[in-house]
Amino acid sequence: MDNLLDLPRAEAELRLGRFMHEAAEPEYRARQVASRLWRNPAASFAEMTELPVGLRDRLAAAFSLPRLALDARQRSQDGTEKFLFRLHDGEGIETVAIPEQNRLTLCISSQAGCALQCAFCATGAMGFSRNLSAFEIVGQVRELILLGLRPTNIVFMGMGEPLMNWKAADVALSLLNDPGALGIGARHITVSTVGVLPGIQALAARPEQFRLALSIHAPTDELRQKLMPINTKYPLADVIDAAKSFVRRVTFEYVLLGGVNDSVAQAGQLATLARACGAFVNLIPLHPGGALGFSASSTKATAAFMAAIRKRGVEVALRKSRGIDISAACGQLRVERLGRPDRGHRVESTALLGG
């Protein structure tokens, strides 16, 4: 049974067209159904009441419209909401909805768990279970639309490294951006990566103006190696070179860790990296739920760090902390509700660029 939600919109519509032809149904029925996959999503074929009952039954027998099961929903005092979705095999993934004036940003997951083991990340501590399919990635957005939340912006900053799941992320980006699917502007979609070079190259090769955020978190290889083991494979110099070659402006993501990476001298080193590739620096306060033994930088240290970067002519901003009163650190709700995955059943990620 074909899962229509795992296909690019044009391919899904093509399959629906063949089905309608074989069923002696009018051609426009395929477009009707296709519009209910993403643009105006229906929870099931039965809810497509614009179709004859018999046709809805035949569609349900031929195709699937799977759902992500909502296991938990938390709402912060600041309006941030966090959702824990259960997948068909029992894995759990998280999605965060962040309202800000007339925008609603969804932070979506691309993997169940993460293999990168960044020292300060709750998701990395739980280990890697598996890649998500394109449907499971974009299905997070679909489920929130069914709940009445219509996003304006998407960030791949939830659980997992999206560019180590490029085959699915590639299709997901198309579904998010396609005017016949979710129709979210490319400049409102950001892919965050630790610096997976083949994935950056693949993203850069796409014609759309998707945004790229690089997780830097340390201004030297020595410190970055301690915080982010992936630096062995993709050292800072290579990541900066990739940022230079990316046509669109990139953002540096930098989690401030008290006494670890927040000195004025380190701010100067970070500014030098940012100037080399024209990057914007986005500083991120450490969320207490994901601290893993680290402490947040003080207000004084944060202000001095920002001033040192600005002094060197680099644009910098401090991300507002959201969802402090709920389990909003990436991976935290998943661990609280479902526990950590059984490491004895871990599998290695082999889907880099669909490999």
Which residues participate in catalysis according to the annotation? 94, 330
Whose CA is closest to 338, among 72, 68, 124? 72
Between CA 281 and CA 197 the distance in angstroms is 20
Give kind and range of the element (H or E) at residue 81. Answer: strand 81-86
DSSP string, 21-59: HHTT--THHHHHHHHTTTTS--SSGGG-TTS-HHHHHHH
What's the farthest any 2 CA atoms get from each other in the chain? 71
Residues contacting residue 147 through CB under 8 Å, at least 6 positions apart: 70
SS3 for 72? strand
Cβ burial, residue 119 (10 Å; 0-12/13-18/19+): middle
Q: How far apart are CA 111 and CA 189, in angstroms?
A: 18
d(CA 194, CA 123): 14
Rg (CA), the chain: 21
Report the DSSP pairing between strands 128-131 and 92-100: unpaired
Angle at 92 (CA atoms; ends 63, 351), nearest 5 degrees = 70
Tokens of residue 291, six digits: 């601290």
Beta-carbon neighbour count of residue 17 at 10 Å? 17
Q: How far apart are CA 144 and CA 187, in angstroms?
A: 21
d(CA 238, CA 211): 19
